[in-house]
Amino acid sequence: MSNWKHRVWRHLSSFQGASYSTRPSSSRTNKSMINNLRKIRPMIHRRIENRAKDYPINEIIPVAEEVLKARRNLLTYVTVLLKLFPVLTCKFCSEVFVGKEGHLIQTCRSYIRRGNNRLHEWVPGSINDVLVPVETFHLHNMSQGVIRHQQRFDYDRVPAILELCCQAGAIHPEEILQYSRTHDHNPRISDEDIRGLSREDLRYVGANALMAWERVRDGVKKLLLVYPSKVCKRCKEVHVGPSGHKARLCGVFKYESYQGTHYWEKAGVNDLVPEKVVWHRRPQDPVVLVDEGRSYYGHAPAIVSLCSHAGAIVSNTKYACEMKPQGLSFPFTTHSVPPNHET
């Protein structure tokens, strides 16, 4: 670079408030920065290793224990309700409906059927359709290294809520697998006990299930303020820990365009305890929801719709606005139902 160009750059840098530097000086600056990073690198490693000594926080352990207790009660109540109120799921997509007959709203967008806005093909659902399971890698401690792609089979997969409560101190790390096998299976409830329930008992079960659902979500929200968790922005993979793993599992299906590492961001309550939003049939709605009245019908999480069918009062909850309990109903006629329901 000629001398006159040097003078021009110095003049411009003086107006912009920046200092002019030539290539030799910038290289010396880079070398000094590298040397400084090498000096503080051991200090950073020691700080990462000592980070686990501050956990678990004793004041947060009761919160994690309350989450585990509410989760056990939730699984028990939902198991009882599913024996009395059927839940249907679509054979081709993730759509769920609480009721004896599925709706006729054309919202099936499965990649297998190669078409949008199709009628659903309903099959019996399970508890996993109401309470969506979210799994994550089980960490031995918070200060361990990042899980590499070739190490993905060396770590067990456990429910994300249990891993969060384990890091909070409510479960011993070596007992989390046994805890998951013991409490995550559906509790055995005989049909005789179900037939003996009265209408008041069903209302009580529904109200307690809704209360347990809210306790789980409130407790997880508090735990996430203390214990960091990550979620992939693209595939919704959850990792409970200070940093995400390096397993290249994002975009493993053909119809997904992302094939590589995850794009991690801060996780929220809906990532660990997702709300499975479904179409909610109100008392003023027809027996079968039709596609023409989709603007009249309400939505609700599947667990809330199930508790509502059991008699729990949901009109004074935060889901009332979305459920439209006092909304108008679609003027149903016989012409609204298509003559052929085949998909």
User: With 0-12 CB in 10 A as exposed, 13-18 as middle and 19+ as buried, what is 221?
Assistant: middle
Q: What digits encode the pLDDT tens for the residues 108-134?
A: 887 676 667 889 999 999 999 999 999
Confidence at residue 20, expressed as pLDDT on a 0 to 100 scale: 43
Confidence at residue 257, expressed as pLDDT on a 0 to 100 scale: 55
Confidence at residue 186, expressed as pLDDT on a 0 to 100 scale: 63
Confidence at residue 308, expressed as pLDDT on a 0 to 100 scale: 92
- List alpha helices for the chain, DSSP H: 3-16, 23-51, 61-82, 127-130, 160-167, 176-183, 191-195, 199-224, 269-272, 302-309, 320-323
Distances, alpha carbon 232 to alpha carbons 5, 50, 274, in Å = 48, 27, 14
DSSP result, 231-290: EETTT--EEESSS------BT-STT----BS--EEE--HHHHS---EEEE--TTS-SS-B
Which portions of the chain are predicted below pLDDT 70?
1-29, 48-49, 51-53, 111, 113-115, 186-187, 252-259, 332-343
Q: What digits encode the pLDDT tens for the residues 277-288?
A: 999 998 888 889
Confidence at residue 28, expressed as pLDDT on a 0 to 100 scale: 65
Confidence at residue 313, expressed as pLDDT on a 0 to 100 scale: 86
Confidence at residue 265, expressed as pLDDT on a 0 to 100 scale: 93
The tokens describing 148, both together, are: 């590499």
Confidence at residue 19, expressed as pLDDT on a 0 to 100 scale: 44
User: In angstroms, rounded to a whole number, what is the distance separating the alpha carbons of residues 184 and 75?
Assistant: 8
